[in-house]
Structure 1
Amino acid sequence: MTKLALLAGCAALYSSPLHAQSAGTPQTTAGDAKPDTEAASRTTPTTGQPDRARALPQLHILPPPGNGYVPPPPTGPLRGIGNALADHGIYLRALLVDEFAANTSGGQGRGHGNSFAMPFGTDIDLQKLVGWKGASFHMSINKSIGTSLAADHTGNAVSFQTRFKTFHNMRLSAMSLDQDLFGGKVNITGGRVSALTFFNASTIYCNFQNNSVCFNPAVLPIQNKALNFFPYGTWGGRVKVNPSKRFYAQIGAFEANPTLNATNGFDWSTKNDSGVQTAIEIGFQSASPLAAHAYHVRLGGFRNSSPVADPYFNTKGLSRGAFKGTPLMHQGGQSGWYAMGDVVLTRLGSDKRRNVTLFGGSIGTGEDYGVFKNQTIFGAVVTGPFASRPEDTFGIVGSYIRLGDREIDFLQASRRAAGGTDTVRNAEGIFELNYGFKLSRGIKVNPNVQYVVNPDNILKPNAVHQSDNILAFGMRISIEAGAVLGLPVWR
């Protein structure tokens, strides 16, 4: 039996994981209601929308949502303490997540990896606590440990375990102040935050364990280092406008400072910043999440002004794969775009927690010196595939990823220098099939199968031979501690 994962960490703000909520949708998503890990309406902050604290990533494992479903009050040994704190606007959270993956074929080698993350923190409704209308404070700390199947064995760049992080320190991951204006039609967030918490985000994506989809289908901005991601927060902020239920727009700017990734998050200086990350997004959605075919569409663009190292050329104009040397730096930075969406295809019977949601889209860049050139994804999530288990999920997703031209040239030159003759392939396909079992309140297990066609060997550029297709088996176990203990959570 495979190693299981036990995890911790929360930092979640999204209302539910399984359906189509776009990154800033001011309402519950594609036709679903609050999960049963939440308290009744008495715990809903008076200040706001379900997406208020975008400084924190979604709590990606929660029971499926359901239209018209009224969640019961929290039950558990600490419910009295939790309710007393919530009455004063103080909410506590913690999530434990463990992800295991092992390959039986393919890659540059066989092996397994097990990664654990424990994000935890607090959300404070400042209107309840001190009478500051429309304001809230959010803080999240993350601890990650463990090993990576991709980094340690198979050698491809996109991890089989989203929760694996290179740095295993405990760090302040996010700390922000939110302010709602004009009855919530405008929201301003600022502090120590991550760009990809806000942009190109959806509660759908972390139904999957592969990092090509969760937390964001953002292989290009993450691998190309265009936008920072949780838990690596820097100074930044976002302004979001919701003029109507059908439309929103948001814009953000964030410090680019990868030197801080290895720190504990309390180094707030900007002396080593390399540039500024900017992003803009507009979204269109159905007027009501209860619509039979509720949908969300996100269109966005992003830019990082930081210099970018060329994958192929050194400062003398020679191949780095063959001649090594200092990388040629591109001072123009890098930019990209994305178009993503999701729609409820159908609902399964009268219980509207049960539905089939399709999602997909594409992300690309104009520069030819990025590690990756574009990514296209398509998938589906079935919530409540069986009437007797309305909070289970079934998911399938495929991702086609094309490498940048100069990255291909670098890998080919590196292979030749190592004595290999295999041709480097210019694209790869990553697929995942999984099932989510809700074991009890706040606890979910997700076994999965992942398959990589034409895998890259970016993490092992001197590999003599092209990697064979990778078949890997994984398991994620998530424990939402607040739900287990009976703590109400921030909405």
Structure 2
Amino acid sequence: MTYRFLACAVATLPFTPLSCAHAQTANITADRQAVEGNILPPHVVTTIASANYPKPQVQFSQVPLPEGKTLIGPLAPLSRLLADKGIYLRFLAVDEFAGSVSGGQGRGVGNSYALPFGADLDLDRMIGLKGSFIHVSMNVSKGTSLSADHAGNAISFQTRYKAFQNLRLAALAIEQNLFDGKLNISGGRVSPLTYFNQSNIYCTFQTNSVCFNPAVVPIQDRALGFFPYGTWGGRIKLAPTKGFYFQAGLFEANPSLNSTNGFDWSTHASTGHQTAVELGFQSSSPKARRPWHLRIGGYHNTSDVTDPYLDSDHQPRLATGGTPLQHDGQAGWYVMGDAVTGHLHDDVKRPVTVFGGLIGSTENYVPFKEQAIAGVILTGPLAVRPRDTLGLVGSYIRISDRQVNYLQASRIAAGGTDRVHRGEAIFELNYGMAVGRNVRISPNIQYVVNPDNFLQPRARKQSGDILAFGLRISVDIAGLLGMPAMK
């Protein structure tokens, strides 16, 4: 089973639509996955010297150091001095609110925030090691969750909510670029989904079905680790041309570390390893009038997976009370993409970006089996506000057969009779308002059809469709203070 995901990924090639999200070889700058609040519109690209490492908490409004110009902010003189020495700092604050008015297992509100911060060290400037960098990211997340505390569904309305709420080391990576950046080696205390299945457009949205990473299947199935839960691992990326790259990574699987502060670097509780591969195709120039990206990947986790429904004798576990059946690992695949299909009033600064794709697991004993995504983002929907965005995204997620059987058995045991649905659909409509260069406010409406009740499996009634209203506020503190990003 170790290599099934490779065959699965290759088999999808002939049937792949042109719709992948990201992997811009020359501009993978700083976690386009989240931008931790999407300070700038998704088409705005900040080029940095360390273009191959997607640093999870870099904000796009933090501009590169201007040549011969004065930075604005109280720490600008100190920041310029540090940047001249190869030290670049970043700091962001993101708050997300969500409140439901109908549906779920209960109505309520949740509010959570995250304070990601870190540093990027250019070792060429510091000690003369060309193409070498060190990246450090810290994170603290606090708050409450609409899903966990009220609605009972697994896929959160707030990406910044974390079950473990503490200050933690999120990433510590060493990076080396060789052959003019065509070969990149990066590793340390990192997470797979920092590198794989990435795009700068996903966190235009607040729903966790898309942001940080539209990877409900591998994340909910615990197949691939995600920020801020780093383990030992690394990735090699080869980009022979501007229009193509290949990358592969190997990472420790150790979910016991999620509850720590990130400084426990032992491997004694490791459950296996995670592997991922990805092929990327894209427009050869990041300045193309209609840029596009296509990404095809596969992944595998060797850790044992507990069957949600059957016992070791392959009988319903809730009825027998037997020992859970254990499975040998899991694997999956994804095909994702995006493309600029046009421009509002033929203005290149106001692109219309469509994106989407498919994600699937090769196993039927994991919680989620498949996910399909489609969305559109209008940048500059109003001519007088060219940096605003208007976004709409839909995601259909199918629950695995074993998980459906478990939820149905749990409902019957609790005295309920409602049928458990095999799939749910999640939609979000939002408007991102740029308030100056360093603040972004994004009100949104989220709607969930046939929501799951994973967090309350013994609920007697099927959850009603959920209508929720949300609000995200992102503040680029580094930008306000005058701290430049790497150029």
TM-score (norm 1): 0.89
CA separation in 1, counterparts of 2:72 and 2:20? 28
Counterpart of 2:472 (choices 450, 471, 476) is 476
Counterpart among 105, 108, 112 of residue 111 in structure 1: 108
* Mapped partners of 1:391, 1:170: distance in 2: 32
Q: 1:5: which partner in 2? A: none
Aligned to 2:271: 274
Aligned position for 2:72: 75
Map of 2:251 onto structure 1: 254
C-alpha contact 2:341 2:352 (8 A) present in aligned 1: yes
> How far apart are residue 287 of structure 1 and its match?
1.1
Q: Residue 180 of structure 2 aligns to a residue in which SS?
A: helix
Q: Does the CA-based 8 Å contact 2:56-2:137 persist in structure 1?
A: no
Measure how far apart 1:58 and its partner are. Answer: 5.2
Q: CA deviation at 1:303?
A: 0.2
Aligned match for 1:234, one of 231, 234, 247: 231
* Post-superposition offset of 1:324: 4.4
Pairwise CA distance, 1:76: 1.3
Of 400, 407, 421, which residue of structure 2 is paired with 1:404? Answer: 400
Residue 461 of structure 1 corresponds to 457
Contact 1:120 1:140 in 2 (8 A): yes
Q: Indicate the residue corresponding to 2:117 in structure 1.
A: 120
Q: In structure 2, which of residues 432, 436, 452 is the aligned counterpart of residue 436 of structure 1?
A: 432
Indicate the larger mover: 402-411 or 79-88: 79-88
Alignment-derived partner of residue 12 in structure 2: none
Mapped to 2, the partners of 1:238 and 1:164 lie a distance apart of 27
Change (3 A) 1:265 1:167: same
Alignment-mate amino acid for residue 252 of structure 1: G
Per-residue CA deviations over 1:68-102 (Å, capped at 9, x if unaligned) read xx998642111111111111110000110111101
Question: C-alpha separation between the residues in 2 aligned to 1:64 and 1:398?
Answer: 30
**230-239 or 379-388: which moved more?**
379-388
- Render the CA deviation track for 1:281-302: whole Å, top value 9, x for unaligned: 0000011122222100000000
Give 1:161's aligned residue.
158
Map residues 47-446 of structure 1 onto 2, 5 A cutoff: 48-50=49-51, 52-54=52-54, 56-57=55-56, 59=58, 62=60, 74-331=71-328, 333-349=329-345, 351-446=347-442
Q: Do 1:58 and 1:203's aligned partners in 2 also have CA atoms closer than 8 Å?
A: no
Q: Which runs of 5+ in 1 are unaligned?
A: 1-18, 38-42
* Residue in 1 that maps onto 2:3: none
Query: 1:354: Cα distance to partner?
Result: 1.5
- The CA deviation string for residues 222-266 of structure 1, in whole angstroms up to 9 with x for no partner, is 000000000000000000011001101100000000000000111
Whether the aligned pair in 2 keeps the contact of 1:142 and 1:170 (CA below 8 Å) is yes
Distance 1:438 1:73, change over 3 A: farther
CA contact (8 A) 2:254 2:270 kept: yes
In the alignment, is the contact (CA less than 8 A) between 2:20 and 2:336 conserved in 1? no
Q: Distance in 1 between matches of 2:68 and 2:227?
A: 29
**One-letter identity of the residue aligned with 1:57:** P
Tell me if structure 2 keeps the 8 A contact 1:63–1:438. no
- 1:312 Cα deviation from its structure 2 partner: 0.5
Quick one: which amino acid aligns to residue 292 of structure 1?
R
Is this contact kept in 2: 1:23–1:198, CA < 8 A? no
CA distance in 2, matches of 1:28, 1:157: 30
SS of the counterpart of 1:329? strand
What is the DSSP-based 3-state SS (H/G/I as helix, E as strand, rest coil) of the residue aligned with 2:479? helix
* Equivalent pair of 2:57/2:137 in contact (CA under 8 Å): no
Taking the aligned partners of 1:412 and 1:437, their CA distance within structure 2 comes to 43
2:408 maps to a residue whose letter is Q
Which residue of structure 1 lines up, in the alignment, with residue 7 of structure 2? Answer: none
- The change in CA–CA distance for 1:442 and 1:160 in structure 2 (over 3 A counts) is same
- In 2, are the aligned partners of 1:20 and 1:203 still within 8 Å (CA)? no
TM-fit CA distance, 1:162:
0.5
Whole-angstrom CA distance in 1 between matches of 2:70 and 2:336: 35
Q: Secondary structure at the match of 1:408?
A: helix
The alignment of Structure 1 onto Structure 2 pairs a total of residues equal to: 456
Q: Is the 8 A contact 1:63 1:392 kept in 2?
A: no
Change (3 A) 1:231 1:337: same
| Deviation (angstroms), 1:319 | 2.1
Structure 2 CA distance for aligned equivalents of residues 251 and 281 of structure 1:
6
- Label 1:73 to 1:432 Cα distance change in 2 as closer, same or farther (>3 A): farther
Judged with a 3 Å threshold, the aligned counterparts in structure 2 of structure 1 residues 73 and 188 are, in CA distance, closer, same or farther, namely: farther
Inter-CA distance 28–189: structure 2 relative to 1 (3 Å threshold): closer
Q: 1:347 to 1:290 in 2, by over 3 A?
A: farther
8 Å Cα contact 1:322-1:417 kept in structure 2 = no
SS at match of 2:411: helix
Q: Which runs of 5+ in 2 are unaligned?
A: 1-18, 41-45
Report the identity percentage: 56
- Quick check: 1:20–1:204 contact (8 Å CA) kept in 2? no
Retained in 1: the 8 A contact 2:247–2:278? yes
SS at match of 1:457: coil
RMSD over equivalenced CA pairs, Å: 2.5
Instruction: Indicate if the aligned counterparts of 1:64 and 1:392 stay in contact, CA closer than 8 A.
Output: no
Q: Secondary structure of 1:184's match?
A: coil
